[in-house]
Amino acid sequence: MDFNTLFSDFGGYTITGLTVGAIYALVALGYTLVYGVLRLINFAHSEVFIAGAFAAIWGWAALGLDRDSVASGFGSIMLYLLVGALIAAAASAGTATVIERVAYRPLRKRNAPPLAFLITAIGASIAIAEAFGIYTRRLPVGAPTVVKNDVVFTVFGAEVTVVQLLILGSALAMMVALDLFINRSRIGRGIRAVAQDQNTAALMGINKDRIILVVFVIGGVMAGVAGMLYDIRIGTLTYSVGFLLGLKAFTAAVLGGIGNLRGALIGGLLLGLVENYASALWGANWKDLVAFVVLVVLLMFRPTGLLGESLGRARA
Q: Nearest to residue 104, comparing CAs of 120, 126, 87?
A: 120
CA-closest candidate to residue 224, choices 176, 171, 148: 171
Question: Side chain identity at 302, as an amino acid letter?
Answer: R
Domain ranges within the chain, ordered by starting residue: 3-301
pLDDT value, residue 312: 56
Of the chain, the percentage scoring pLDDT greater than 90 comes to 80
**Has residue 192 got a pLDDT over 70?**
yes
Mean pLDDT for the stretch of residues 192-221: 93
- Say whether pLDDT at 180 is over 60: yes
Based on its alpha-carbon atoms, the radius of gyration of the chain, rounded to whole angstroms, reads: 19
Residue 70 DSSP class = B
Under 8 Å between Cβ of 158 and 15: yes
φ, ψ dihedrals at 184, nearest 5°: -125, -10
Give CA–CA dist 179/188, Å, rounded: 9
Spelled out in words, what is the top-level CATH class assigned to the domain 3-301?
mainly alpha
Pairing of strands 151-155, 236-237: unpaired
Question: What DSSP character marks residue 158?
Answer: E
- State the CB neighbour count (10 A cutoff) for residue 207: 13
Query: For 71-116, what is each residue's pLDDT tens digit?
Result: 999 999 999 999 999 999 999 999 999 999 999 999 999 999 999 9
Residue 316: per-residue pLDDT: 36
| Confidence (pLDDT) at 3 | 83
pLDDT tens, 261-302? 999 999 999 999 999 999 999 988 888 888 889 888 888 888
102 three-state secondary structure? helix
List the beta bridge partners of residue 141. Answer: 237
For 310, other C-beta atoms within 10 Å of its C-beta total 19
Round to whole Å and give the CA distance between 175 and 261: 8
Name the phi and psi angles at 158, rounded to 5.
-100, 130
Give the C-alpha distances (Å, rounded to integers) separating 280 from 10, 270, 275, 288, 316: 9, 16, 9, 13, 39
Strands (E), the chain: 141-142, 151-155, 158-161, 236-237
d(CA 255, CA 300): 11
Is the distance from CB of 206 to CB of 194 less than 8 angstroms?
yes
Q: How far apart are CA 124 and CA 102, in angstroms?
A: 10
- Residue 315 predicted with pLDDT over 70: no
225 within 8 A of 169, measured Cβ to Cβ: no
